Amino acid sequence: MAGQMNVKHYKAYLLDLDGTIYRGKEPIPEAAAFVKQLKEKRIPYLFITNNSTSLPQEVAVKLQNMGVPCEEEQVLTTSTAAASYITSSKNSPSAYVIGEEGLKEAVDQAGVIEEEDNPDYVIIGMDREITYSKLAAACLAVRNGACFISTNADKALPSERGFLPGNGALTSVISVSTGVDPVFIGKPEKVMMQQAVDILGAAPEEICLVGDNYDTDILAGIRAGMDTLHVDTGVTSREEAAGKSIPPTYAVASLSVWSIV
């Protein structure tokens, strides 16, 4: 269905960020205009990101500075999703946390007690100051019975210098050492997607997920039972997306050719 305009009314939209709304520090103009239309038509939308390092309010400010309408409560990160996941599973949980401010703050706000010795959970997110001692403490805790949680499985992160190790690469050190696979929170897994559905208050079949990366965004929507809209402004090309065994519901060059019904 590549290049077709929308022929269905969706009650809500889930929107990826990097590669869909902006590229690094550069906004994608067509995307900003698209989100403004959603706001004008009062169609609920939620930004979802595998980035665990930023706070939702930081993401909201970044988008606002790019001319994209966004409030803090319209941002769901893997950090906030991970914190919600463990607090919904256990009362007053304790956790050993590897990550940056976004994850540390989300865990703290959720009332999770940070603890290195005998924690209930080990949670790992992207940490650009990772050390052997942090990984060793995590491995010891997992071997001791702590439930192992990882914000996302992204193996590599794009940068100006090329692809750098992502959180999935850091997570693999713990899983290889302990023989324990983590519960992954972010796209394309279902944990964060279910939370997103609950926030939007619509059924999966009434939601359209918009993203550029087939292996995270589009696959997440497919697994969650949503229609998917692939935009050719980021990681996966339209040709690559169309060649997948389950292609996206729609594929467009950019959001400028997508009509909101």
Please report the DSSP string for 170-215 in residue order.
HHHHHHHHH--PPEE-STTSHHHHHHHHHHHTS-GGGEEEEES-II
Please tell me which residue in 18, 120, 127, 212 is annotated as part of the active site: 18
Please report the pLDDT score of residue 38 as a whole number: 96
Please report the pLDDT score of residue 1 as a whole number: 44
Name the percent of the chain lying above pLDDT 90.
80
pLDDT score of 160 more than 70: no
pLDDT tens for each residue of 100-124: 999 999 999 999 999 999 999 999 9
Verify whether residue 16 is a known catalytic residue: yes
Average pLDDT of the segment spanning 196-201:
96
Q: What class does CATH assign to 12-50+188-257?
A: alpha beta
Does the fold of domain 91-184 match that of domain 12-50+188-257? yes
Verify whether residue 108 is a known catalytic residue: no
Q: Are 118 and 150 in contact (CB under 8 A)?
A: no
Place of tokens 């997440």: 220
Exposed / middle / buried, residue 115 (Cβ in 10 Å: 0-12, 13-18, 19+): middle
Q: How confident is the model at residue 95 (pLDDT cuts 50, 70, 90)?
A: very high
Residue spans of the domains in the chain: they are 12-50+188-257, 91-184
Take residue 233 and report the two structure tokens written for it.
């402004």
Bridge partners, 207 (sequence order): 12
**Distance between CA atoms of 59 and 76, rounded to whole angstroms?**
10
pLDDT tens for each residue of 5-32: 666 899 999 999 988 999 878 889 999 9
Nearest to 94 by CA among 80, 81, 105, 108: 108
Superfamily of domain 91-184: HAD superfamily/HAD-like (3.40.50.1000)
Please tell me which residue in 16, 120, 154, 227 is annotated as part of the active site: 16
The upper half-sphere exposure of residue 36, i.e. CA atoms within 13 Å in the direction of its Cβ, equals 11
